[in-house]
Structures are given as C-alpha cells and as structure tokens.
Amino acid sequence: MSKEPKQIPKSARFLLGGSAGISATIITQPLDMLKNRMQMSGLGKKEKQYKTSIHALTDIVQKEGFLELYNGLSAGVLRQATYTTSRMGIYSYLLESLKKNDYKLTFPLRVGCGLGAGVVGAFIGTPADVAMIRMTSDGRLPPSERRNYRHVFDALIRIVREEGVLAMWTGVLPTIGRAMVVNAVQLSTYSTVKEQLIKMKVVDDNILCHFLASMMSGFLSTVASLPIDIAKTRMQNMKIVDGRSEYSGMVDVIGKVVAQEGVLALWKGFTPYYARLGPHTVLTFIFMEEYTRLYRVYVMKDTSGEGSGF
C-alpha cells in the first residue's frame, strides 16, 4: 500500500520551477538569439536583413563569431531566475492548493491559474527580458550605435543611469500580454494533455508522456503568442529619437508591422521562435518533472510515486 504523498514546500516549488527554466535556457539560448534577430529583420530597412533562419544563423556566425549566439545568456538566466521561478512556482502552488481543497481541476480553472501566474512572473521578469532583447539584437546595429553591454547587470545599471528606472519595464504591457497568452495556453494545455494521456492509458506518467504533452503545449503557445512577442521585442529594442519613442504602444507596433510588412509579418521568425519555445517548453517541463521527482525521493524521502502536481 502506497503512502499518502507529502506536500512539497512552497519555497521548493519556486526553486524547482526556476531551476528547470534556467537549465532549459542554457541549452536553447542560440535559438532565442535567432528568434530576436529574425523579428528585428527588416526594421528601418527596405529589405529584410535575413531571408530565413538558416541565413540568419550563418550570417551571425560568419560576421560576429560563434560565441555571439550566446550573447545575452546572462540576461536569459536572470530572466528564468525571476520570470520562470515565479510563474512555475505560482502555477504549481495554485494547482496543489486547489486539489487540497477538493476543487475539480477543469481546463478553464487551469487557464485561470496560468493567467495569474503569467501576470506576476512577467512583471518581475521584464527588466531581465529588456536586457536580453537588447543584448541579442546589438550585433545587427552599426558599431557606432551598439550598446555593448558586458553582461546583464551592466545592462540594467546602464539602463537605469541613462534612461531611468522605469526604462527597465519598457514594453511591460506586451510582455504581460504575451505571458498571459503563453501561460494560459502552455501550462493549462500541458496539464490537460498529460492528464488525458495518462487517463486514456496511452502512456504512463513518464518522460515520454511529458515529452508529448509539452510538444503540443509548445506548438499551440507559439501560434497564439508570436504576434504579441514581436510587438514586445520591437518595443523593448526601440530608441528615443528627438525625445519621442518609436512606438506609442503594442497596438501601434502591430499596426505598423501590418501596414509596412504585411499581416504574415506578425508570425515572422516562426521557425526559430517555435524552435526555441518548443524545445524550451519540452525541456522546462521535463526538467521540472525530473527535479520534482528527485526532490521527493531524495529530500522528502517520499516513496508514494506522486508526480510534479502539474
């Protein structure tokens, strides 16, 4: 007879979520670089800078060196330490609390938990996100216009000193909007697909199950969130010219993209974005599941076989 599963401490929920996000980011950072460069391609120019993701990859490596693909890694890690720690920790804690109080975890309820977790995580993680966008986009600029941030903390210090504290939350509304969409789709879809796969006995609660659920989650998240992510990327990378911002808001960005580049430009960089978000989603959930299992077994001495709670 199995023992009653123990409750994972709240602090551990956040630690496990952040560790999973950081582990995934270390692996997928070059894909984030390609995604950001593709989204900035064509901005302020008559022709696109990069025609395809492969063109972007080869051009960056040839002109800027292989290590440029990891420019912004420190910001990416800090973003995961803030954003993912918050969103994954809050989401898993909410689900566990609802289960404990005998609520039926319906899909709409999971979506609501994902929305809430996304809002909080996005606000906390925006400063690191701004730094990462600027660092990964820097190489596309002429040498005289580059910011040349040495690392994420240099970026944040200079942003505050040169532009003010509030500049760290540039694009916070589209960032929150993207996070709401990503988390509502990603987290709720993962939980639901995983549950149904196990319930229908397609697979057991193992790595294959986590892989299948996270692949579906990553694809749907990409389709839903890419237009908002493009608006966020361009707002966070914009410059102030003659005292005026390049864009007045998310709607202004999307309107100008559609008018100047066409509707399909809202999904520009789909391949590197999915290539980044897909594997990142898969790796984050797999790391989360495995770290949680290891924590239960080796720290909590829990032999009930209970999973992550997702």
Which range (43-47, 115-119, 298-302) has the least confidence? 43-47
Cβ-count burial 242-267 (b if 16+ within 10 Å, e if not)? eeeebbeebeebbebbeeebeeebbe
Buried b (16+ CB within 10 A) or exposed e, 167-194: bbbbbbbbbbbbbbbbbbbbbbbbbbbb
Q: What residue ranges define each of the domains in the chain, with the CATH number in brackets?
A: 10-299 (1.50.40.10)
How much is the pLDDT for 4?
58
Rounded CA gap, 198 and 182, in Å?
Answer: 24
Average pLDDT over residues 197-222: 90
Mean pLDDT of the chain: 86
Q: What percent of the chain has pLDDT over 70?
A: 93
Distances (CA, A) of 226 to 89, 155, 247, 254: 24, 25, 18, 11
Residue 303 is predicted with a pLDDT of: 73
User: In the prediction, which pLDDT does 1 show?
Assistant: 44
| Banded model confidence at residue 119, pLDDT cuts 50, 70, 90 | very high
- With a cut of 80, say whether residue 146 has pLDDT above it: yes
User: What are phi and psi for residue 245, nearest 5 degrees?
Assistant: -75, 150
The candidate with the shortest Cα–Cα distance to 184, out of 215, 232, 216, 220, is 220
Are the C-beta atoms of residues 129 and 175 closer than 8 Å to each other? yes
Model confidence at 44, pLDDT cuts 50, 70, 90, reads low
Of 123, 23, 36, whose CA–CA distance to 71 is shortest?
A: 36
Provide the terminal-to-terminal Cα distance of the chain, rounded to the nearest Å. Answer: 23
| Residue 82 amino acid letter | T
Tell me which amino acid residue 111 is: V
